[in-house]
Structure 1
């Protein structure tokens, strides 16, 4: 009994099994894995998405399971043509644009949530910061301030044992600056130990924050110890609450949204369902004048020749290739390579090579021109589709994207990632129906209907886009209901630990 297969392009050499093999078949290809559509000879490039995903490691017969045992990664030459597919995007007239209910801040930036934050300069102040946030959160104080979404402690493992003027410190401070400027925060306590490399004075010196943002800075050493620090921190946040609670949502156009995208725990359905549907939602937002951000440079590796074709200019395309070259050197210095991917879970879900994974991941960026390429945690200032250079590790990637200004995140998963990113709401998109049903308390949207044949990419894309507007207006996501987001603040750690 043959399995139902999904073939994307006529030229593809493989299709995806859309269902488990029937028990009476006595074998077959697992659901989500690849099936050879024709005989393939050893060394032959194998196509999926109309692109090379690897090379046959031996002769493969039509109908055979194609995976780690007979498909391998190899380098091959690609043609780089810049800006040839960068057609201008027709924007929806301003008078007809969609809207959402957001917090308009004093500098004109727009938030989707209204939090107070405790930001640590160093790991040594993390425990005190968490105690401060927990005291306020569980004290009952917030019951009197219904327009404050909560208090989030942003802690990390860095801030000392690193060169004060090195690359690692520069990246850490860029992340911290991005969070201090983020419109989802109504006020901040910045807490240090006192003797760390990442001194509060150097962190905040010359930093332009929006007018009127409450900001209190202190260190454990100057306050006289942990108990006094916690008491002082609780008092500082308590004093901020009335002003934070005075914020109200107002109607703003959808072009004020910066939508961060990420995929984690991917499977072979990711590039068929959730990722292209999210790309469709990004296209809809871009046509509204908004912004969609894609990151995870190691997980678009092998698709850069496709992205530079969409670059708004050759200079934008060159910036992307420069980041790819940086990653090649970075992985080589640490004894790795760009093809040390996918992860064990990805492979179990049917992904075989980094090329196949990247071709699915890049679909999150939709089809519009690549407007800009920015470095990790740099402010995203361009409208349209923007690429940010981030690692593939989910919390590190999203931390950088949020620091860049994303005020909402969509996260696709095929294996079942558990994720949130306070202070920014994160919508979870399941790539397949069994996952959505199995982890229904964590998943917000089921894109599996695309593979099941009950929905189209465009229909799910419209659903995602409408949910984005609703969540931006205050509708809570599953991860927010589960209190995810605090531990997922993970700045990229670069440089030597001394």
Structure 2
């Protein structure tokens, strides 16, 4: 049998090896393969001279760094990244997003309505540390609550979860870094997946709880409490006080019940990690189709990971609702180029070794696949990291590409459900927002079934992107209604709160 290959666009000069191809194999059309090509990787169908572009998805993913004969394996040994002009064509492809057809029944899920009108998909009690100096104490408070057994009388509460981090002091009291942490902490403190939140500080840190309360209008009550270790009298007294505060918040947290709400109340975080050569072919475009389903229902989908749209940003600027929205994307890319250079790096330091082993050669190639998670909807707005997301439809949030940091920003922005595609097998989960793991290939799904919620590898066997997208959307509704994802069953999410530390540590 001829090797299975995929040509993604008529303008491409490479094809994808669906399975490993041996040297000497003959492709459909008669081309002889010159060397072994691993599965998920690329091989040239045309001769590519040094300096000429390598094209996949009909887009430039790099340039030949040496002659690439037809039938040759195409990867980092013969492909490099260089600057080239992109036509941003701001807002040229903006359109009205397709709404529900007449007679089409709106989708619903069972969620928790919160004061102020937002809707949660989970009913946790959260414990936040204002600073790393109180991280151990909030861990001890959560552990003591678990040992006490008091949650047994409150089955409608999903758990008491501590969220520790490594900053909060040794930083400036104003400026970008402080504002970013404040947005992140406030976003979690007010998140609809929490029935109540306790914030614990040391007392003398730069990131003061009193200032957080004042700046964001947080008032103490059934849904929010705070304390500091120093004012309470030390570690043991702070732990006892924290457990007592949670006991006081339990009755109100238990009174809320799930009720049917429209899918328009969902804010979906779109994530990918441990990507491979199949990510842009299967799970990412299928998740994009699911995001389109949600947008048609009036909901919101958050695309993020700015370094991982580098090289594909022109596809988003064209879909921007206005030129001003599109220019925000370009401004972010320029900021990231300078940010990477300050650390002696460049944006093409991403992909990771695992990405490259899976078939991704350059950041341009990775970005084109990653951007597919955003589907086809018009880009309505661009947000800073952890900024509250208020627009409906497809939006973008500026985050790093590092998955836990990116997801933390999306959740702080209000995401109440998350989908995470992976081709290498990222071990990830997220609290308080449930994370649905989508495997890009069937081998991974079979190997890591305890971690993967859905196999998207069957797209390679003929399942359509639209059909798989609908399957993902229906799973989103079930998980939003309370069905436990695999990462929830495993208990992931306690250690995945990782705010972006952007500034100097002093």
TM-score of the aligned structures, taking structure 2 as reference length? 0.96
1:35: how far off?
1.0
Equivalent residues of 1:181, 1:210 under 8 A apart: no
Measure how far apart 1:404 and its partner are: 0.4
Q: Distance in 2 between matches of 1:148 and 1:22?
A: 55
Q: Distance in 1 between matches of 2:351 and 2:341?
A: 17
What residue is the counterpart of 2:391 in the other structure? 382
Aligned partner (choices 290, 299, 313) of residue 304 of structure 1: 313
CA distance in 2, matches of 1:131, 1:15: 54
Superposed, 1:397-412 pairs within 5 Å as 397-412=406-421
Question: 1:469 — aligned with what?
Answer: 477
Tell me the distance in 2 between the aligned counterparts of 1:79 and 1:31.
33
**Match status 1:294 vs 2:303:** yes
Q: Which residue of 1 aligns with 2:30?
A: none
Give the gaps of 5 or more residues in structure 2: 26-33
Please report how far the alpha carbon of residue 412 of structure 1 lies from its aligned counterpart in structure 2 after TM superposition.
Answer: 0.4
Deviation at 1:190, TM superposition (A): 0.6
> 2: distance between equivalents of 1:316 and 1:459?
31
Aligned-partner Cα distance in 1 for 2:146–2:162: 11
Deviation at 1:421, TM superposition (A): 1.1
Distance 2:222 2:173 in 1: 27
Superposed counterparts of 1:228-247, under 5 Å:
228-247=237-256
Distance 1:205 1:487 in 2: 28
Q: Is the Cα–Cα contact under 8 Å of residues 36 and 66 in structure 1 kept in the other structure?
A: yes
Contact 1:307 1:370 in 2 (8 A): yes
Alignment-derived partner of residue 365 in structure 1: 374
Q: Could you report, residue by residue, the CA deviation over 1:123-147 in whole angstroms, capped at 9, with x for unpaired residues?
A: 0000010111121123321111010
Which of residues 418, 436, 452 in structure 2 aligns to 1:427? Answer: 436
TM-superposition CA deviations, 1:251-302 (whole Å, max 9, x none):
1100000000110000010000000000000000001110000100000001
1:339 aligned residue:
348
Match of 2:28 in 1: none
Match of 1:75 among 80, 83, 92: 83
2:23–2:36 CA contact under 8 A, matched in 1: no
Distance 2:228 2:6 in 1: 58
| Counterpart residue number, 1:275 | 284
1:204 to 213, 217, 221: 213
Q: Deviations over 1:100-149 (max 9, x none)?
A: 00001111000000000100000000001011112112332111101000
Structure-2 change in CA distance of 1:484 and 1:80 (3 Å) = same
**Distance in 2 between the 1:314 and 1:94 partners?**
35
Structure 2 SS opposite 1:151: strand
Q: Distance in 2 between matches of 1:235 and 1:425?
A: 27
Structure 1: segments with no counterpart, 5+ residues: none
Map Cα deviations across residues 467-492 of structure 1 (whole Å, 9 max, x no partner). 00000000000000111111100000
How much is the aligned-residue C-alpha RMSD, in angstroms?
1.6
| Contact 1:107–1:211 (8 Å) recurs in 2 | no
Residue 116 in structure 1 maps to residue 125 in structure 2: yes
Question: Equivalent residue of 2:183, what SS?
Answer: helix
Q: 1:184 corresponds to which residue?
A: 193
Map 1:117-266 → 2, pairs under 5 A: 117-209=126-218, 213-266=222-275
Count of residue pairs the alignment pairs up: 497
1:480-495 equivalent positions in 2, closer than 5 A: 480-495=488-503
Match of 1:10 in 2: 10
Equivalence map 1:439-450=2 (5 Å): 439-450=448-459
Deviation readout 1:29-61 (Å, 9 max, x if unpaired) = 111110111111111101100000001111111
Matched, 1:455 2:466: no
The Cα offsets for residues 309-335 of structure 1, whole Å up to 9 and x where unpaired, read as: 000001101111111111112112222
